[in-house]
Amino acid sequence: MYKILKAEKLADKIYLMDVHAPRVASHCEPGQFVIVKIDDKGERIPLTICDYDREAGTVTIVTQVVGASSEKITRMQAGEAFRDFTGPLGCASELIEEDMESLKKKKILFVAGGVGAAPVYPQVKWLHEHGVDADVIVGAKTKDMVILEDMMGKVAGNLYITTDDGTYGRSGMVTETVKYLVNEMGNQYDVCIAIGPMIMMKFVCLLTKEMGIPTIVSMNPIMVDGTGMCGACRLQVGDEIKFACVDGPEFDGHLVDFDQAMKRSQMYKSEEGRAMLKLQE
């Protein structure tokens, strides 16, 4: 059993938990995910790792309520425990695999949308601890939906908060702030990492492609069981078919077919849709 040491509400329907899972904590790297199960009969839910403390043996996860199972997770309190906490799974972030000398010369921009701030945080923190301070944009619909601002502020080189409705920080979509940083501030980024809702990643990629900035995206949002078996996270990346949970979750954003991925994940939500997808495969 994997005990919850802390459970905290970050925003409406978004919760953070510190879970005692020493084996996962000792091996995990930024970009990876875990699969949790509440009890023997529970569904397997893939969740990205938001932080980890190897000495304390804890892993921090952030859950957004999107259905019955995720809602059950968010109702759990400190002192309760998960039946399973499997991981680390998926590939570590490409950035941390790079040669340190070339990484230190790079100007890096992270764009996080909504709950996407959770998988962005450990990457920014890792870079900061290795002497690389990245620029970070955290976007949310409204002021109340901005998460992890304090934590991110401590590890980001420059942090820009944006809200779609202008209730906090810069006003408008994250893409407006990308344009501001590049066109008005004259920043020349070597790479952009965008993680958030698929529609956000799509528009960030359209913009960075125009600007000539290589962009990595994380396809966490389309994962369902995280095992490589359900087929929900199948996606077209350039000429290849990939599975987000096995081959990713990170991919070259300029090669991902977002329209197809969004359509697929919509279809996957209904039984009829899943049957149709099976026929097509």
Instruction: Kindly state whether residue 273 participates in binding ligand FES, applying the rule CB under 6 A.
Output: no
CA angle 19, 23, 29 (to 5 degrees): 85
Rule CB under 6 A: choose which of 229, 241, 275, 276 binds ligand FES: 229
User: Quick one: 243 or 251, whose CB is closer to ligand FES?
Assistant: 243
CB of 149 to ligand FES, least distance (A): 30
d(CA 64, CA 36): 14
State yes or no: residue 276 binds ligand FES (CB under 6 A): no
> Which of 230, 255, 262, 267 touches ligand FES (CB under 6 A)?
230
Among 87, 226, 249, 253, binds ligand FES (CB under 6 A): 226
In 3D space, the residue among 48, 60, 62 whose CA is nearest the CA of residue 5 turns out to be: 60
**Comparing C-alpha atoms, which of 130, 131, 148, 128 is closest to residue 140?**
148
Q: Is 231 in the site for ligand FES (CB under 6 A)?
A: yes
Total interface residues for ligand FES by CB under 6 A: 14
Does residue 157 bind ligand FES (CB under 6 A)?
no
Question: What is the token pair recorded at 218?
Answer: 């994380």
Which of 43, 227, 255, 277 is in the footprint of ligand FES by CB under 6 A?
A: 227
- From the CB of 246, what's the least distance to ligand FES, in Å? 6
Interaction between residue 50 and ligand FES (CB under 6 A): no
d(CA 152, CA 134): 11
- Smallest separation (angstroms) from ligand FES to the CB of 26: 25
Binding segment toward ligand FES, per CB under 6 A, in 20-28, 69-77, 93-101, 219-227: 219-227
232 binds ligand FES (CB under 6 A): yes
Q: Is 233 in the site for ligand FES (CB under 6 A)?
A: yes
Sheet of 108-113, strands arranged across: 170-171, 158-163, 135-140, 108-113, 191-195, 215-218, 250-252
Q: Is 81 near ligand FES (CB under 6 A)? A: no
Under the criterion CB under 6 A, does residue 223 sit at the interface with ligand FES? yes
Query: Residue 36 to residues 1, 70, 78, 231, 264: CA-CA distances in angstroms?
Result: 11, 10, 16, 19, 24
Residues that bind ligand FES (CB under 6 A): 223-233, 243-245
